[in-house]
Amino acid sequence: MAEEEEEDHEEELPEGVSAEEFEHGPVPEPYRTAPSQAGERRELDRLARKEDVAFQEAEAAVESGAAEPGQDCGNCAEYIPDRNGDGFGACAKVEGYVDPADWCVLWESMEEHESEER
């Protein structure tokens, strides 16, 4: 069963990207120091590990009560949208590739971010 799950996960990976690279990086050059949707820059030496921020699919986070419906990486202030057409982006705070349908405890709405900036 574990092999099947691993195979399923590998099918979701961008072409030429290992599971290790997907989880921990490095991400492609266009993302490495790119700004997030809210203008935050990635600091490569300060990125959190996915396992340290309860990184998971947003649907699972909602089902477990960790997230509210509608909270996902795609609408997080820290998200860096897809820049190379592979369907994945990155995050200004978390290492590795990020699917817009994921979620972690660092999720921040654009409104929250804007009010913090004032």
User: pTM of the full predicted structure?
Assistant: 0.84
**Is 27 a residue whose pLDDT tops 60?**
yes
Predicted local confidence at residue 116, as pLDDT: 67
DSSP 3-state percent helix, strand, coil across the chain (nearest 5): 40, 10, 50
pLDDT digit string, tens, across residues 33-90: 899 999 999 999 999 999 999 999 999 999 999 999 999 999 999 999 999 999 999 9
Q: Residue holding tokens 């290790």?
A: 20
Domain that holds residue 65: 2-117
Percent of the chain with pLDDT strictly greater than 70: 86
Q: How many separate domains does the chain show? A: 1
CATH number where 84 lies:
4.10.490.10
Cα 50–chain centre separation: 8
Residue 12 pLDDT grade (very low, low, confident, very high; cuts 50, 70, 90) = confident
Spatial CB neighbours of 117, under 8 Å, sequence gap ≥ 6: none
